[in-house]
Chains A and B, each alone.
Chain A
């Protein structure tokens, strides 16, 4: 009898333990699906959407050249992207293309828009009214070069004459107009107008391109390249490198100027070893950067890669020790891949980190928009209540 009772105790205990185990495991694992692991896709090559985008941009067909000696018609040139044609030619030049439209419609674009429109979009509205250009709709790409910058998009509604009216302008080539340096009227906040001398030259081409340069010769050279009168050298960025939301080639000089003064030794080393740096930034989900550094000596480039990898690792350790989790997370994805006379540096910033950092912009924008709405509402109410004039 006692044995049977003892056995019953074991059985009851087992049942209770099974129930306890089920409850504990249920509570411990949780029933909600686990969030997907943090993965970042780096822009390492052209993808199908990039190829399709590049193909859509081949809109310019140059006239078929006729040989002066024999009078025979040469092979018809392939259509090309006028913006790529306008880029500077030769090695050691800087040309970085920002896909403004793609960036605007990316997740980070929304966050950046909040920061740009912290005043509730007042300045943007003013610019739109004054210039006839809506940067959010009409601007496609923006290029930064050593000589200045270029903008591509739809500038049919742009009021260039009003904007640049006081400059001397002349038609140039087949479809361009060059505005030379001149005086500009600038309205101050108090309503008074002052004249300022602007030394830059501007050229427009077929309402598609806007070239800003330091001198008229520079902008004319860009127009020459677009219209097929430039040198035969390939442009700084080939069509096969047009992937990501920002891409291009940075001269080592330009890049070393971007490195902070406390890293002067690294900047000097970069100047000594590297020839040029090609970079690609993808912002379609998280922000991922791939930079390819190339130089004449494979050993020196590999050593530079190792130094850079070590510097990044050290920065990550410091960030972890200083409990800067965001920076440590950012540097989690940092890696250097040596490959003979070049190495690739990969870095990424998860979107969530950027979202947290830029949350203040959204709040500011909402506050500003609310303030604008509140300001406009009584005015509208006032209009409705205004007495009808008696004739």
Chain B
């Protein structure tokens, strides 16, 4: 396990040196600071009586604070889920290709580690990065609203963790793509394709009705059966963040399913990487 952790640490050091990721962390901190300093919320006996952003009244309705904050947490969960995956695709698309660049890969392959350790370590490093960023953002949000309203919930944190599982499936495909073609652009394209496919797969029952009954519909259903159900996971994350009843039959099974898809994609990467000559 230690070689995998070593590679993961290497990836994290690489990320820390990148201005792009640092800028993202600074931007996230700024957004949280703006929300914390610019927002004033009046809560009377658990009811949100008034809220002001930079002195301007933004909400005139008086209702239970958890009900009033539902749309805020739901929107945050969607932003964290889709925004996080999109940012992850862009920010992490060249980690694996640069790791496999000529000169560097030979050096890494010369280390006393197995080839799959390299990919697993890269995956673990990127996932640690995604997890850190998500927890930082969602914990900040929960703390700000918790202190200001007195309403504490772990919903947004759980939603953030679910977003990380979604990103794991996407990044595993990107990593596998890097073993096929050493191109950051193609890795990112593969990530986008999985994201779009995942959104479609989550709504496969509704979309399938648009296909004519027969081969085309069966083909669509067969393809989307394997793809990670990202939109279903995103909606569940939104419901979880807002403390609403879940629409999915079993969240745990869905989460494990999406994660296992990621593992499967990663194992395809292992298979390809093991047979590649450098």
Binding site for B on A (CB under 8 A): 3, 6-7, 10-11, 13-15, 17-18, 20-31, 33-35, 305-314, 316-317, 331-332, 334-339
Contacts and interface: CB of A to CB of B under 8 A. Distances in A.
B261 A18 contact: yes
B256 interface: yes
B249 A336 contact: no
17 contacts: A7-B275, A10-B116, A11-B268, A18-B261, A21-B264, A25-B257, A26-B257, A28-B249, A28-B250, A30-B250, A34-B248, A307-B44, A310-B44, A310-B47, A310-B49, A332-B67, A334-B63
A206 to B, nearest CB: 46
Nearest to B264: A17
Given A18-B226, A22-B225, A310-B49, A29 B267 contact: no
A345 to B, nearest CB: 9
B226 A22 contact: yes
A317 B61 CA distance: 18
Interface string B230-259: 001000000000000001111111111110
A14 B268 CA distance: 6
B202 A336 contact: no
A33 B206 CA distance: 8
Interface residues of B, number: 45
Chief secondary structure at chain B's binding surface = helix
A20 B275 CA distance: 25
B29 interface: no
Contact of B248 (A22, A28, A312, A334): A28
A168 B64 CA distance: 57
B74 to A, nearest CB: 11
Top 6 A-B pairs ranked by shortest CB distance? A28-B254, A24-B257, A309-B62, A30-B249, A17-B264, A28-B253
Nearest to A337: B61
Contacts of A305: 62
A10 B253 contact: no
A6, A25, A26, A307: residue with the most chain B Cβ atoms closer than 10 Å = A25
B46 to A, nearest CB: 4
A10 B267 contact: yes
Interface in B185-215: 201-202, 205-206
Contact of A336 (B63, B228, B252, B270): B63
Contact of A337 (B62, B232, B251, B257): B62
A359 B201 CA distance: 40
Given A17-B263, A35-B247, A25 B258 contact: yes
A314 B45 contact: yes
